[in-house]
């Protein structure tokens, strides 16, 4: 009997163990299904938030081991699945662009990689927008299709500045001196109006910050780049900026940089109560040491002012008034400017004001900021009035006077055409990626003279290896970098 009881007890224990084992397996399967369901739900929600273009791009980047930021909120998808950047800028609000409404080269003809034919901007635009196919290279057999480039003139695209920006490729190794390697950028941010203004020095930035603060409830802010993308792509913010004709801006940028890096910033009345300014100068002085002629014979601000400021103004002691008068430069300062341009590579600016505008509109990777509208800094008041009106705010005429109206200290009229052309070549990235027409000084008569060194832009297929942070399958950039 005892033997039978032991046998029954052992059988009961085994049954209990099996029961608990089955319960454990059932719970494990339930938890696994719950986790999978949650992951599927999160994935579905994420896909719903993203446009088809971003989802496709995300899968493509994952396949190559890179998650790429793809601009989505700045694009809308039409019935033909063609991406059209959603911008608020009107064409007559932008910096001047050159339009030729006649397509001169519908037949691409020679598709060699070094094709020197100059194509019409409208045809290039149609390819960028997907309305016409990009031609196949005759060297496809050699796997060089990415090397095919089409040449066109700056400012001839039938696109706004913001649209062109999204197609830009920036070689961050080549232009490293113009791009700040930081995780955040200075903006004016209005949470109330969901508006981000990206600050660009010497492009009406003082007036812009005044408009944002006094009329649109904006505050200066160091906006993290990840937060910038979330605000624009997911939270419905608009991001705007103002750009200036590059050659004209370079004059002002140099003038500002020259003053900021002068020897008077190392000591004297100007920096007596500004220790941080003096420290910044001493840290960066080495940048101008390679141009010793810039400040030859100048040790103090008292040595510098008589070179550009009228004597009667100096006698009154109202030195700030010097900035309101035409420069009396006899050519000494402009000659030093020209010598600087001859020696300047365009790649190592000695002051932040000499950074190209494009350097302020890209992430450290070279990927363009998600800018939705770009306005002309020369027409800042009308541009800001338009921005405000779209948000139900009125900016009265004459209110945009907070910018620093400073006349240039060197005589620009004495600058040669050759110097201006060199400057335009240095600034090719701005002209091409912002779709701005070349000024007459850099454009007139070049082709008629048979000048092979004229400034052109390039359009080509995005190379997955060398252009991995470019946003679009077709990209634009200078035909020749400085």
* pLDDT tens string 412-431: 999 999 999 999 999 999 99
Indicate the SS3 state at residue 375: strand
What digits encode the pLDDT tens for the residues 114-136? 567 999 999 999 999 999 999 98
From residue 348, alpha-carbon distances to 32, 285, 335 in Å are 57, 13, 21
The first and second tokens of residue 472, run together, are 């679009």
Compute the distance between CA of residue 80 and CA of residue 39 in angstroms, rounded to an integer.
Answer: 32
| % the chain with pLDDT above 70 | 71
The number of beta carbons lying within 10 Å of the beta carbon of residue 353 is 20
Confidence of residue 3 (pLDDT cuts 50, 70, 90): very low
d(CA 285, CA 302): 20
pLDDT of 446 over the 50 cut? no
Total Cβ atoms within 10 A of residue 331 = 12
List b or e across 199-229, with b for residues whose CB sees 16 or more CB atoms inside 10 angstroms.
bbbbbbbbbbbbbbeebbebeebebebeebb
Judged against a pLDDT cut of 90, whether residue 233 lies above it is answered with yes
- Cα separation, 417 vs 424, in Å, equals 11
Going from the C-alpha of 10 to that of each of 4, 22, 24, 345, 384, the distances in angstroms are 10, 19, 21, 90, 88
Identify the weakest region by mean pLDDT among 28-32, 146-150, 310-314, 450-454.
28-32
Question: Please, which residues have CB within 8 angstroms of residue 52's CB and are 6 or more apart in sequence?
Answer: 77, 81
3-state secondary structure of 303: helix
What is the reported pTM? 0.78
Mean pLDDT of 175-179: 97
Segment 398-409 shows an average pLDDT of 73
Report the DSSP pairing between strands 118-119 and 184-190: unpaired
Higher-confidence position of 265 and 63: 265
Average of per-residue pLDDT across 104-115: 53
Q: Would you tell me how many other CB atoms lie within 10 Å of the CB of residue 26?
A: 10
Distance CA 252, CA 324 (A): 14
Query: What's the pLDDT score for residue 400?
Result: 75
Q: Which of the listed ranges 111-120, 265-274, 371-380 does the model predict with the highest average pLDDT?
A: 371-380
* Mean pLDDT of all residues in 392-417: 85
Name the least confident of 23-32, 227-236, 283-292.
23-32
The label of the residue with tokens 């800001």 reads: 384
Task: Please write the tens of the pLDDT for every residue from 43-85.
Answer: 333 433 334 444 344 334 333 333 334 333 333 323 333 333 3
With the C-alpha atoms ordered 293, 295, 299, 305, is the resulting torsion angle positive or negative?
positive
Asked whether the predicted pLDDT for residue 243 surpasses 50, the reply is yes
User: Per-residue pLDDT tens for 343-372?
Assistant: 999 999 999 999 999 999 999 999 999 999
Give the span between the Cα atoms of 122 and 150, in whole angstroms.
13
Which span out of 201-210, 345-354, 440-449 was modeled with the highest average pLDDT? Answer: 345-354
Confidence at residue 363, expressed as pLDDT on a 0 to 100 scale: 97
pLDDT tens sequence across 283-318: 999 999 999 999 999 999 999 999 999 999 999 888
CA distance 462 to 289: 39
Least confident of 55-69, 198-212, 269-283, 386-400: 55-69
- DSSP line for 466-481: T-TT-SSSEEEEESS-
Q: What are phi and psi of 188, to 5 degrees?
A: -105, 125
Q: Which of 191-205, 244-258, 437-451 has the lowest mean pLDDT?
A: 437-451
Helix residue ranges per DSSP H, 365-438: 380-389, 417-426, 428-433
Distances 113 to 105, 116, 129, 200, 421 between C-alpha atoms, Å: 17, 9, 22, 36, 27
Find where tokens 């990009």 sit. 134
pLDDT at residue 323 in the model: 86
The Cβ-side half-sphere exposure at 471, using a 13 Å CA radius, reads: 26
Q: State both tokens at 464.
A: 């997955």
pLDDT at 7 over 60: no
Give the pLDDT confidence score for residue 28 in this predicted structure. 59
**Mean pLDDT estimate for the chain:** 81
Under the banding of pLDDT at 50, 70 and 90, the label for residue 396 is very high
Mean pLDDT, residues 324-353: 96
State the pLDDT at residue 60.
Answer: 43
* pLDDT per residue as tens digits for the range 137-172: 665 444 544 469 999 999 999 999 999 999 999 999
Higher pLDDT, 44 or 1: 1
Q: Say what the pLDDT of residue 444 is.
A: 58
Are 291 and 285 in contact, with CB atoms under 8 Å apart? Answer: no
Band of the pLDDT at 19, cuts 50, 70, 90?
Answer: low
Query: Which has the minimum average pLDDT: 25-34, 46-55, 188-197, 408-417?
Result: 46-55
- pLDDT for residue 249 is more than 90: yes
From residue 125, give the alpha-carbon distance in Å to each of 81, 90, 155: 17, 17, 11
pLDDT band at 434 (very low <50, low <70, confident <90, very high): very high
Alpha carbon distance 231, 213 (integer Å): 19
């Amino acid at each position: 009997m005892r033997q039978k009881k032991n046998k029954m007890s052992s059988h009961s224990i085994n049954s209990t163990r099996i029961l608990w084992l089955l319960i454990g397996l059932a719970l494990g399967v339930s938890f696994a299904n719950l986790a999978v369901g949650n992951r599927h739900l999160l994935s579905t929600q994420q896909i719903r938030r993203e446009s088809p273009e971003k989802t496709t791009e995300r899968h493509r980047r994952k396949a190559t081991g890179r998650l790429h930021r793809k601009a989505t909120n700045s694009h809308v998808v039409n019935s033909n699945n063609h991406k059209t950047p959603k911008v608020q800028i009107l064409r007559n609000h932008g910096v001047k662009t050159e339009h030729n409404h006649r397509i001169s080269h519908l037949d691409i003809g020679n598709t060699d990689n070094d094709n020197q034919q100059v194509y019409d901007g409208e045809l290039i635009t149609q390819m960028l927008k997907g309305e016409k196919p990009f031609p196949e290279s005759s060297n496809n057999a050699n796997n060089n299709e990415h090397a095919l480039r089409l040449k066109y003139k700056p400012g001839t695209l039938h696109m706004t500045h913001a649209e062109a920006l999204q197609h830009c490729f920036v070689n961050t190794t080549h232009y490293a001196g113009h791009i700040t390697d930081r995780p955040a950028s200075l903006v004016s941010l209005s949470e109330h109006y969901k508006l981000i203004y990206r600050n660009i020095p010497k492009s009406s930035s003082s007036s812009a910050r005044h408009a944002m603060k006094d009329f649109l409830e904006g505050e200066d802010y160091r906006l993290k780049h990840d937060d910038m993308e979330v605000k624009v792509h997911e939270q419905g913010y608009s991001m705007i900026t103002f750009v200036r004709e590059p050659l004209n801006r370079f004059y002002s940028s140099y003038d500002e940089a020259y003053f900021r890096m002068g020897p008077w910033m190392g000591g004297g009345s100007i920096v007596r109560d500004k220790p941080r300014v003096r420290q910044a100068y001493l840290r960066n002085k080495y940048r101008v040491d390679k141009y010793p002629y810039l400040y030859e014979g100048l040790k103090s601000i008292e040595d510098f002012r008589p070179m550009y400021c009228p004597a009667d103004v100096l006698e009154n002691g109202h030195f700030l008034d010097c900035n309101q008068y035409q420069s009396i430069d006899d050519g000494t300062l402009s000659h030093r400017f020209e010598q600087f341009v001859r020696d300047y590579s365009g790649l190592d600016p000695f002051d932040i004001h000499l950074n190209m505008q494009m350097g302020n509109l890209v992430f450290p990777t070279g990927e363009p900021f998600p800018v939705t509208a770009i306005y002309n800094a020369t027409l800042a008041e009308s541009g800001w009035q338009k921005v405000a009106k779209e948000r139900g705010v009125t900016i009265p005429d004459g209110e945009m006077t907070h910018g620093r109206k400073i006349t240039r200290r060197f005589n620009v009229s004495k600058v040669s055409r050759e110097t201006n052309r060199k400057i335009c070549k240095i600034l090719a990235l701005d002209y091409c990626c912002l779709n701005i027409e070349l000024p007459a000084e850099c454009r007139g008569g070049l082709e008629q003279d048979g000048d092979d060194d004229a400034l052109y832009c390039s359009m080509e297929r995005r190379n997955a290896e060398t252009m991995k942070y470019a946003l679009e399958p077709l990209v634009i950039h200078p035909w020749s970098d400085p």
